[in-house]
């Protein structure tokens, strides 16, 4: 099918009610349990308005709240299209401060921190916060995101730092951000001071409580750590601050990306027949992560996957896979039952 243009969204959102009806946005809480357990989203996007709207439609519920961070250097037409979509929803807003985002630098962490600050000011008393990027889609319905079962704990990857990654924070780095999306990191010979808190390794994705967000933005040790860290911030920031706030720095509390519920990613180099971590990927890898295609959906929707979201999707690689995910989620919402991937 033809890709929806930025002009399409600027035109159709002139009548917000008709737009939301036509695009099948959920108009009311689907249960008392969901109504009474609102969720917050921090959504970092940079260039594909149709993919953004697909993600928003897939996770949208009127009791939740959504902060959208647009890369400050994204095209003007894209930004205007996002703004008109957001304007149709009282619980969706653009972050009050936008960053020029470059991969691997502090800017992406700051984008989510900006949203965290805005979300704490929202009148919605959300319980948990999830962060997303433009290539994510949910693989659980809102009702299936049973964060109550976390019992006030966070869920994110947090493990000891592999030796090969320790140089990221043992030495100062010079960072070239001239290119829009690719950065050059040059390690200097200058050693950094010791970290102010124990450093752990993790991913960019998290499911965290409101209390954690508030603590992180106010705690002096957390602020000192944010000023100290150098590059690939998100792969150490959330994992380290999670231990600071609630969990002792002990191997007993390690959590891998496969046991955390934040994101299901299919990493290259770990696929194959059982007992490999992942089955063979169907299409292509990007930054060593599988871009899901239609052939991966059977694996994605297996009942043993407890993750809430999956990454990566790209309509230029397989648009049918994205449409199928939406159809599966709609089936589960409408039928109130599990989807059988067989």
pLDDT digits (tens, 9 = 90+) for 172-202: 877 766 654 445 667 788 888 888 999 999 9
Supply the pLDDT for residue 181: 47
Q: Give residue-wise pLDDT tens across range 26-50.
A: 999 999 999 999 999 999 999 899 9
Known catalytic membership, residue 235: yes
Q: Are 216 and 134 a contacting pair, CB within 8 Å?
A: no
Q: Tokens standing for 116?
A: 């965290």
> CB-based contacts of 304: which residues, under 8 Å, 6+ apart?
none
What secondary structure does DSSP assign to 275-330, as a single string? TSSBPPPSSEEETTEEEP-GGGHHHHT-TT---SEEE---HHHHHHHHHHHHHHHH
Q: Are 238 and 206 a contacting pair, CB within 8 Å?
A: yes
Q: Tokens standing for 7?
A: 């002009």
Q: Give residue-wise pLDDT tens across range 83-105.
A: 999 999 999 999 999 999 887 77
Q: Given 2, 76, 235, 271, which residue is catalytic?
A: 235
Q: What are phi and psi of 244, to 5 degrees?
A: -60, -40
Supply the pLDDT for residue 274: 66
Sign of the CA dihedral 135, 139, 145, 149?
A: negative
> CB-based contacts of 122: which residues, under 8 Å, 6+ apart?
40, 65
pLDDT (tens, 9 = 90+) of the chain, 342 residues, equals 678 999 999 999 999 999 999 999 999 999 999 999 999 999 999 989 999 999 999 999 999 999 999 999 999 999 999 999 999 999 999 999 999 988 777 888 999 999 999 999 999 999 999 999 999 999 999 999 989 899 899 999 999 998 888 887 788 877 766 654 445 667 788 888 888 999 999 999 999 999 999 999 999 999 999 988 866 678 899 999 998 866 666 677 788 888 899 999 998 877 766 666 778 777 788 888 999 999 999 999 998 999 999 999 999 999 999 999 999 999 998 887 666 665
Count of C-beta atoms within a 10 Å radius of residue 330 = 15
Rounded Cα–Cα distance for residues 232 and 173 (Å) = 11
Closest CA to 305 of 287, 331, 324, 279: 279
């Amino acid at each position: 099918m033809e890709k929806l243009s930025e002009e399409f969204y600027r035109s159709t959102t002139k009548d917000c009610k008709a737009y939301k009806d036509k695009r099948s946005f959920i108009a009311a809480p689907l249960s008392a349990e969901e109504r009474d357990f609102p969720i917050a989203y921090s959504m970092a996007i940079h260039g594909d308005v149709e993919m953004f709207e697909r993600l928003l439609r897939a996770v949208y519920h009127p009791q939740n709240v959504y902060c959208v961070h647009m890369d400050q250097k994204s095209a003007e037409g894209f930004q205007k299209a996002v703004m008109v979509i957001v304007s149709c929803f009282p619980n969706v807003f653009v972050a009050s401060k936008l960053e020029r985002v470059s991969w691997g630098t502090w800017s992406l962490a700051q984008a989510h921190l900006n949203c965290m600050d805005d979300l704490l000011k929202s009148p919605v008393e959300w319980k948990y916060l999830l962060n997303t990027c433009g290539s994510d889609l949910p693989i659980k319905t809102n009702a299936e995101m049973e964060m109550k079962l976390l019992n006030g704990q966070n869920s994110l990857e947090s493990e000891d730092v592999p030796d090969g990654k320790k140089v990221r924070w043992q030495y100062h780095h010079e960072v070239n951000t001239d290119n829009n999306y690719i950065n050059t990191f040059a390690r200097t010979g200058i050693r950094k001071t010791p970290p102010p808190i124990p450093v752990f390794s993790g991913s960019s994705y998290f499911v965290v409580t409101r209390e954690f967000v508030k603590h992180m933005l106010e705690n002096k040790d957390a602020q000192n750590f944010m000023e100290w860290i150098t590059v690939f911030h998100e792969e150490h920031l959330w994992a380290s601050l999670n231990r600071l706030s609630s969990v002792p720095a002990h191997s007993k509390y390690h959590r891998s990306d496969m046991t955390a519920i934040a994101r299901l990613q299919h990493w290259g180099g770990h696929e194959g027949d059982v007992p490999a971590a992942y089955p063979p990927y169907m299409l292509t890898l990007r930054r060593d992560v599988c871009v899901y295609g239609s052939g991966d959906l059977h694996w994605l929707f297996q009942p043993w996957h407890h993750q809430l979201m999956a990454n990566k999707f790209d309509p230029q690689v397989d648009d049918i896979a994205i449409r199928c995910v939406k159809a599966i989620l709609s089936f589960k919402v409408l039928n109130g039952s599990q989807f059988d991937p067989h």
